[in-house]
Amino acid sequence: MTTLLSGLSKVLLMGPGPSMVNEAVYKAMTTPLLGHMDEEFVGLMNAVKEQLRAVCQTANDVTMPMSGTGSSGMEACYVNLVEKGDRVLILQNGVFGVRMADVASRLGAEVDVLEFPWGTPVIPSKVKEKLAAKSYVLVGVVHAETSTGVENPVEEIGRLVRGNGALYLVDSVTGLGGIEVAVDKWGVDAFYSGTQKCLSCPPGLAPLSLSALATDKLKARKTKAPNWYLDISLLTQYWEGQTRIYHHTAPITMNYALHQALALILEEGLPNVFARHRAMHELLVAGLEDLGFTMFVEKPFRLPMLNLVTPPKGVDEAALRRNLRQRHNIELGNGLGPLAGKVIRIGLMGETARKENVERLLAALKTELA
């Protein structure tokens, strides 16, 4: 039976993720499966945990991938750490902050939202005021807002939350592996990411890390988490210790892929990886401005790996993206929510952040705008 696979286009992925994947990672996925309780696979799980600790800059025991895509990391943090009636503060300046509020509300949390205009960062002094006025069980923020291209000042916010008694939750689905993430230094208690952005691995896993304070909260829960699949108390029995207890069948192949992708990043070295993202971002911005595009976010707050641009006057952004995809096999991202139809999102994540890709995109844009 013929499948659709051989007929699929080979696309340069320059949207908001998934990003390009190194050949070594594709090859890793052809490694024959082992059983999920096999000692050799347990060895690989241990290696993945160590690699994740290195890229997240943490010594947290509970550091492991959830068996779902990035959003399952968000779900796991909230469903494990928040109980009905808990007061939660969400710092919101984009789609993923909105999603956090939805996730937390579904669990019966009392959610307060501190909003900032999309395209601008969270302002720490406003957070300070909010924290002074009310106490919270958890404060959540998105490090790298994929919907707006803004980097939030998570380290500064962390200093405010630390003195307050709340758990500090940071989403860096888009940041991890592209800009610095320092879970311990920043005082982050609950952290998650996704594999398909700057880690340059296919989507399918959500790296997650919890501090000792967060695991204390797990143990102090009054009720079981209303989610067996993502119950971290059960998952740690599979991911940690001398004797592993079966929970669910882990996505073996995705763990092979993550192991290889993390090895590539650690081999290049985190400072070099971050410098590459920064340099490709600068190359891209210069080229886009030459072509008449306007950057949506003010310079100090721009993420290198996710660039929101307004097209030159008179250019239909949807048509431009469609033409890029159809004529040049390049994927760009659309604007989300209030930004739909107004901006284009250009990703420079992981393997995508290479000079030849930036140049190919700029050349294609030049052709289309000519």
251, 287, 292, 312: residue in contact with its own copies (rule CB under 8 A): 251
339-368: contacts with its own copies (CB under 8 A): none
317-336: contacts with its own copies (CB under 8 A): 325, 331, 334, 336
Angstrom distance (rounded) from CA 242 to CA 97: 38
**Residue 15 lies near its own copies (rule: CB under 8 A):** yes
**Residue 11 lies near its own copies (rule: CB under 8 A):** yes
**Residue 38 lies near its own copies (rule: CB under 8 A):** yes
Angstrom distance (rounded) from CA 313 to CA 162: 46
Given the complex with its own copies, which of 9 and 125 has the nearer CB atom?
9
49, 99, 276, 277: residue in contact with its own copies (rule CB under 8 A): 99
Query: One symbol per residue from 133 to 162: x for binding its own copies (CB under 8 A), - otherwise; what is it?
Result: ------------------------------
**Residue 224 lies near its own copies (rule: CB under 8 A):** yes
57, 156, 203, 270: residue in contact with its own copies (rule CB under 8 A): 203
The contacts of residue 137 (CB under 8 Å, 6+ apart) are: 81, 82, 86, 87, 88, 109, 166, 167, 217
Contact status, residue 238 vs residue 247, Cβ threshold 8 Å: yes
Given the complex with its own copies, which of 1 and 220 has the nearer CB atom?
1
SS3 per residue for 290-308: HCCCEECCCHHHECCCEEE
53, 217, 259, 276: residue in contact with its own copies (rule CB under 8 A): 259
Shortest Å distance, C-beta 103 to its own copies: 5
Helix (H, G, I), strand (E, B) or coil at 190: strand
**Residue 27 lies near its own copies (rule: CB under 8 A):** yes
Helix (H, G, I), strand (E, B) or coil at 92: strand
Helix (H, G, I), strand (E, B) or coil at 28: helix
Dihedral sign of CA atoms 26, 28, 30, 33 in order: negative
Query: One symbol per residue from 77 to 96: x for binding its own copies (CB under 8 A), - otherwise; what is it?
Result: --x-----------------
> Which string of b and e fits 327-346 if b means at least 16 CB within 10 Å?
ebebbbbbbbeebeeebbbb
**Residue 248 lies near its own copies (rule: CB under 8 A):** yes
Given the complex with its own copies, which of 151 and 331 has the nearer CB atom?
331
Query: Which span sits near its own copies by CB under 8 A: 55-63, 67-75, 114-122, 299-307?
Result: 67-75
Residue 152 burial (CB count, 10 A) = 29
SS3 per residue for 135-181: CCCEEEEECEECCCCEECCHHHHHHHHHCCCCEEEEECCCCECCECC
**Residue 217 lies near its own copies (rule: CB under 8 A):** no
22, 120, 237, 253: residue in contact with its own copies (rule CB under 8 A): 253
